[in-house]
A and B are shown apart, each in its own frame.
Chain A
Amino acid sequence: MEKEEIKQKIYDLVVKSTGKKKLKSSDIQKQISSDTGCSRDEVKDALKDLMDEGKLIYTYFGGSYVELPPNQ
């Protein structure tokens, strides 16, 4: 699977979870890897790109989570 596709799937998953469940990075890796069959390293790499681009951010509420930036 192309990296851009993985990125989109991660982004969609975070959007879908917003307001319902805070996702940890490992939750995303497990979920996307199981849905798409790609390796967890590939998911990690795609997630890193999303963070570097500012499309997703890390937050801390007693643990570290992956969320949408506050203005989205």
Chain B
Amino acid sequence: MTIDYTIFLISAAVAVFGATMMIMQRNPVASVLYLIVSLVAQAVVYVQLGAIFMGAILIVVYAGAILVLFLFVIMLLNLRANPELSAGMPTLSWFTRTAVPVLLIVELYFVIDRVMLPSAPTGMLGEVEDNFGAVHDVAIKMFTDYLYPMQLTGVLLLVAVVGAVVIARRETAEPRKTAVNPGDKAEKPSNTVAG
């Protein structure tokens, strides 16, 4: 067993563990933390595959920005672990509790079996080009072969942002009446003249 293989096994196990624990938590903050654990482990897998840029971006964008935003929202709404969620839950009969998971697992088996994932190419890591996944190569691909998809994704994100602003704005459509400082009102006319 080589060092690479061991590292892969560990990080893959941690990634799966983090993902599983994430959906099993009642405490939303704990969920986010497990997701971070999973993401960091996934980044390790990416780096091992030579996709260093992907690994770094996974940490910078997902772990560093998006999940911070999640935490921010959770804290702003002050969502604590809710014991009522488990206490007041209607209990399921033992039949439903066992039959549904068994059914799902059997289904999963058949789906995986039917789809027949393509077998991994032989001599996996050795045959990749040296600079595969390096920033330079990713950039070249992004700005030549995949130029239009890239730009369109940008437009899509922009539309999403505008949409979010529109939805957030609707509730406070009326102009705000409160001035931040009492002095603001007095100063306004002179500002408009100057500007």
Task: Please say whether chains A and B are actual partners in one complex.
Answer: no
Binding site for A on B (CB under 8 A): none
User: Which residues of A line the B interface, CB within 8 A?
Assistant: none
